[in-house]
């Protein structure tokens, strides 16, 4: 039975609800300029490196790993002692599944890392993204939280790489792009950020300009702060904005939080007006040696007052809030406006995610689960992740059939719902595509 279910899942195209992928031309340029590797180390970029570092990879080996001038034999010698104790993790299985999908090799070691590198370098040609995403990975389209612009990236491939709208910078919180965020955003809108009312207009300009072509809002400030966004009146926020504008360091931590809180709620109301779901990072942190678990453990409970304050907004909790996924499940069951997204989760903890899917489907509405996002900057991580998520989903559904919770006859409908219908119901792909085709010659805003 698991074979049949696995086959149905293999034949169904994913809607991928979370990536950070560069545009293809950016990726090809970075590799051509020697700024991003085109050898086997590309498969280790990002999450797999975190497991190597957690296993003790020295800093100098880490630096050499992505250098364009270090030979592949040295790179492999550097990482081999740390690959061995991690080869069984989700991250490393993802490395091998991606290598297999792109080069046909089943394993990686000192004997074939050169061959894998040559095969990858050959693939890096125009058309690479469509081949890897659509043909090899059977992904219909990706939703991308781009790291190439403060708020919204004018992608060259709007049908394949739908863009999220980052609103943290509009709340004067973090931006992925360096620069003076306040002045950059004000300049783009051709307005002076003279006071809070002017800042509202700047926010509204960005929504009017980009929200019709965005697939969702994205918020990643859980990396910086608690998610206890309290209601703060504009009367209280206005003098804080004035002082912040003159000197951002003039505000105390509490005052800065109050200003961010106020702007967050303003943006959530905009999201409702533009009918955009709000994706929020919750739970585990990327990287090593930085996650403040005491703060992270409050992410999900902190958000309850936000859900209550905005019943018309739709909130998507990312990464199932791992390792607090049971709280995430309780929220999706209880709040009509809360959805759960499994992006990244299948490789952080494949077994916990498989159990989560089973438990979710017997606890909460199946309409509220989004089952796949690779969460990678570089394309090499995505095909393997799509395979691992398919295998995990097949196992979870098979077990539910074996345990007589769902009937065999319901499986194909459930697969379609989890892999495609749910994201199509939550995100307006068609409306956004229409708006892209109407928008011509829109200048790049960074
Ligand atoms: Zn992400």
DSSP letters for 397-426: HHHHHHTTSS-GGGHHHHHHIIIIIHHHHH
State the Cα–Cα distance between residues 39 and 90, nearest whole angstrom: 21
21 C-alpha vs ligand 1 centroid, how far in Å? 10
Report whether 40 contacts 66 (CB < 8 A).
no
Q: How far is the CA of 19 from the centre of ligand 1 (A)?
A: 6
What is the pairing mode between strands 278-280 and 14-19?
unpaired
- Ligand 1 centroid – CA 337 distance (Å): 21
The pLDDT value given to residue 440: 52
Stated pTM of the model: 0.97
What distance in angstroms lies between residue 416's CA and the mean position of ligand 1's atoms? 24
Place of tokens 């607090």: 324
Ligand 1 centroid to Cα of residue 37, in Å, is 21
Quote the ligand 1 centre to 18 CA distance (angstroms): 7
Provide the residue-wise pLDDT of the chain in tens; the chain has 446 residues.
889 999 999 999 999 999 999 999 999 999 999 999 999 999 999 999 999 999 999 999 999 999 989 999 999 999 999 999 999 999 999 999 999 999 999 999 999 999 999 999 999 999 999 999 999 999 999 999 999 999 999 999 999 999 999 999 999 998 889 999 999 999 999 999 999 999 999 999 999 999 999 999 999 999 999 999 999 999 999 999 999 999 999 999 999 999 999 999 999 999 999 999 999 999 999 999 999 999 999 999 999 999 999 999 999 999 999 999 999 999 999 999 999 999 999 999 999 999 999 999 999 999 999 999 999 999 999 999 999 999 999 999 999 999 999 999 999 999 999 999 999 999 999 999 888 888 754 544 44
Q: Where are the alpha helices (DSSP H) in 47-112?
A: 47-54, 59-65, 72-83, 90-103
Q: What's CA 160's distance to the chain center, in Å? A: 15
Instruction: Using the mean position of ligand 1's atoms as its centre, give its distance from the Cα of residue 148 in Å.
Output: 14
Q: At a CB cut-off of 8 Å and minimum separation 6, what does 252 contact? A: none
């Amino acid at each position: 039975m698991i074979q049949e279910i696995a086959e149905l899942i293999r034949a169904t195209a994913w809607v991928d609800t979370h990536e950070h992928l560069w545009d293809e031309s950016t990726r090809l340029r970075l590799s051509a300029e020697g700024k991003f590797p085109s050898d086997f180390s590309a498969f280790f970029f990002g999450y797999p490196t975190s497991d190597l570092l957690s296993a003790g990879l020295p800093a100098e080996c880490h630096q050499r790993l992505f250098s364009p001038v270090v030979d592949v034999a040295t790179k492999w010698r550097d990482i081999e002692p740390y690959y061995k104790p991690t080869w069984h993790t989700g991250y490393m299985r993802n490395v091998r599944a991606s290598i297999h999908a792109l080069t046909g090799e089943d394993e990686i070691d000192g004997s074939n890392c050169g061959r894998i590198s040559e095969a990858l370098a050959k693939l890096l040609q125009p058309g690479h993204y469509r081949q890897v995403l659509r043909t090899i990975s059977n992904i219909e389209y990706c939703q991308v939280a781009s790291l190439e612009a403060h708020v919204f990236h004018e992608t060259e491939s709007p049908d394949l790489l739908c863009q999220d709208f980052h609103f943290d910078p509009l709340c004067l919180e973090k931006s992925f792009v360096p620069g003076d965020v306040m002045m950059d955003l004000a300049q783009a809108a051709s307005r002076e950020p003279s006071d809070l009312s002017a800042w509202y207009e700047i926010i509204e300009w960005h929504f009017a300009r980009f929200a019709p072509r965005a697939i969702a809002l994205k918020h990643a400030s859980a990396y910086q702060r608690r998610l206890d966004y309290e209601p703060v009146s504009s009367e209280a926020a206005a003098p804080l904005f004035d002082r912040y504008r003159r000197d951002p360091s003039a505000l105390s931590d509490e005052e800065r939080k109050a200003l961010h809180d106020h702007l967050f709620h303003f943006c959530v109301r905009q999201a409702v007006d533009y009918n955009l779901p709000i994706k929020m990072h919750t739970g585990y942190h990327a990287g090593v040696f930085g996650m403040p678990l005491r703060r992270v453990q409050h992410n999900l409970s902190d958000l309850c007052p936000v859900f209550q304050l905005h019943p018309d907004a739709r909130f998507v909790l990312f990464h199932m809030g791992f390792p607090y996924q049971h709280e995430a499940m309780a929220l999706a069951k209880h709040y009509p406006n809360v959805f759960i997204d499994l992006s990244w989760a299948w490789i952080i903890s494949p077994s916990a995610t498989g159990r989560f899917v089973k438990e979710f489907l017997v606890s909460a509405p199946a309409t509220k689960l989004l089952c796949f996002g690779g969460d990678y900057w570089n394309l090499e991580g995505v095909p393997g992740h799509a395979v691992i998520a398919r295998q995990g989903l097949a196992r979870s559904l098979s077990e539910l059939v074996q345990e007589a919770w769902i009937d065999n006859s319901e499986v194909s409908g459930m697969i379609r719902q989890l892999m495609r219908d749910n994201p199509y119901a939550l995100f307006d792909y068609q409306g956004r595509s229409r708006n892209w085709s109407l928008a011509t010659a829109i200048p790049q805003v960074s």
